Structure 1
Amino acid sequence: MNREQISRIAHADHPIKSPLDDDSVSRLLERGAPRGDERVLDLGCGTAEWLLRALATRPRLHAEGVDISEDALAQARAEAERLGVRERLVLHQRAAEDFVSPQPFDLVVSVGATHAFGGLLPTLAAARKHLAPGGRVLIGEGFWDRTPSPEAVEMLGEFTDLATTVDRVEADGWTPVTGHVSTRRELDDYEWACWGSLASWALDHPAHPDSAQALETAALRRSEWLRVYRDTWGFVSLVLRRTSD
């Protein structure tokens, strides 16, 4: 079972793929796309959950998503058909850093995908290339809520604290117009959902050749969360505008 298969099963009950509940997602989209007729781009869209939610509640909105996963994009197309928004969604299978569009976008989204660009600031640089004047970026990034252990840093990567994260964004020429720090409930619900879904799949398919691996992976990831980073790692979502266009 490869990483993509594990992710698909793990996120079956939490399709937004980030530690955010439905109300938080709705509020962030309201601030990111306030008019309702925006052109929206998601860099590293996966199954395009952010775009699908925006399209389902805004009949004049148009969206494009970019991702390298054929399987994820196929899921996005199927769900768009089910929701009746397929004609307003364009999906591109390619690396997000290679995507070029002849038209700019009013909102560029990259939540939980900054690793694809090499970090927060490179992701903002990529978003800037696609942003229309006066447009907004919705970005989600991890941060250290408390001093992490070396094991946590090795496991999750290099992050800063929340204040420094916002300082870096502002120094790069962006102004936050709203933000949301994921609550303990959102963080915990996300982890329980992911590893519970993977474990449940394994228990429901005991004869599957990948069942034992899935169950072992779920137990390992749950233990890592509880023992290594639960008390130190946080997640912030920011809606940003260019300080000077």
Structure 2
Amino acid sequence: MTPPHRTRLTFHGPLSETRADALVRRLTRHRPTTVLDIGCGSGELMLRVLATAPEATGTGVDLDSDDLARGRRAAEERGLAPRVRFLEESATGTTRGPADLVLCVGSSQALGDRLPEVLGELRRLVTDRGRVLLGEGFWERTPTPDELSRMWPDAAATDHPDLATLIGLAVDAGFRPEWTETASLDEWEEFESGYLADTEVWLAEHPRHPLADETRQRLDRHRARWLAYRGILGLAYLTLVPTA
């Protein structure tokens, strides 16, 4: 028996049902016929877009075979399988575009190490009349050295920009921001709690399992990092329109 993991998550990020519904309505307003999801995971948001835009086809790219398999099952269950592909491959230099709608939510690292490079790739991958949804981290405020020391390994203040800088980089890359919104603290707490919840319950019920010590260390490490960046690290959802 191995610990369950992420079974309580709908989205792999701080995204509520209410915000997801609003995003889908906005992103399908211009009637996309092709959708490209970078670092798609199980592709939940892409599948919702396809359900709302019946003329659209979708392509999801990711390296996690388990998430891709989950996405394929969901597509089959919802009758969307003929219109979507889940591909296990790198998005670096991908030739899967251009698409009318490009989703890149919490996965910009799949396109490059620096935001100007990422945004340049997104501009290349979207059609001239299309849209990009970029879900990207930013600092709500500059973290202190002590706070950084308790986040991820080698965390630095330069890891993320502030929100104004992030939007400015998008404009410099050839976009105009149609819509700017940021994840709420409630969304973050629902995501981070949901990320750990099933494994926490398993650990409470199996404290002497051979995997218990390793699992306990992993959970405690993740929770400590989350609590260190809680209220400091934000996530922006930017709906971007390419400039002519």
Q: TM-score range by the shorter chain?
A: 0.7 to 0.9
CA deviations on 1:73-93 (whole Å, 9 max, x unpaired) are: 111111111111111101221
Q: 1:174 to 1:93 in 2, by over 3 A?
A: same
The one of 89, 103, 126 equivalent to 1:109 is 103
Say yes or no: does 1:19 pair with 2:14. yes
Alpha carbons 2:28, 2:52 under 8 Å: kept:
no
Aligned pair count reads 236
For structure 1, the 5+ residue unaligned runs are: none
Aligned to 2:164: 163
Aligned to 2:128: 133
Say yes or no: does 1:70 pair with 2:65. yes
**Structure 1 CA distance, aligned partners of 2:27 and 2:91?**
20
Aligned to 1:49: 44
Aligned to 1:200: 201
Query: Which is richer in helix?
Result: 1
Say yes or no: does 1:187 pair with 2:188. yes
Kindly state the Cα deviation for residue 69 of structure 1 after the two structures are TM-superposed: 1.9
* Aligned ranges 1:77-88 → 2 under 5 Å: 77-88=72-83
Counterpart AA for 1:193: G
**Structure 2 CA distance, aligned partners of 1:86 and 1:128?**
28
CA deviations on 1:112-166 (whole Å, 9 max, x unpaired) are: 0012221433222222222112111101011111120235546255111111111
Alpha carbons 1:198, 1:215 under 8 Å: kept:
no
CA deviations on 1:151-204 (whole Å, 9 max, x unpaired) are: 554625511111111112112221010121111111222112212233123334
Kindly state the Cα deviation for residue 55 of structure 1 after the two structures are TM-superposed: 2.1
Kindly state the Cα deviation for residue 205 of structure 1 after the two structures are TM-superposed: 4.8
For structure 2, the 5+ residue unaligned runs are: none
Counterpart AA for 2:186: R
Counterpart AA for 1:135: G
**Structure 2 CA distance, aligned partners of 1:207 and 1:237?**
42
Q: 1:119 to 1:111 in 2, by over 3 A?
A: farther
**Structure 2 CA distance, aligned partners of 1:151 and 1:84?**
50
CA deviations on 1:203-236 (whole Å, 9 max, x unpaired) are: 345565433322322222212222x211311110
* Aligned ranges 1:115-126 → 2 under 5 Å: 115-116=109-110, 117-126=112-121
Alpha carbons 2:32, 2:100 under 8 Å: kept:
no
**Structure 2 CA distance, aligned partners of 1:87 and 1:209?**
43
Q: 1:197 to 1:152 in 2, by over 3 A?
A: farther
TM-score (norm. length: structure 2): 0.87
Helix, strand or coil for the counterpart of 1:96? coil
RMSD: 2.2
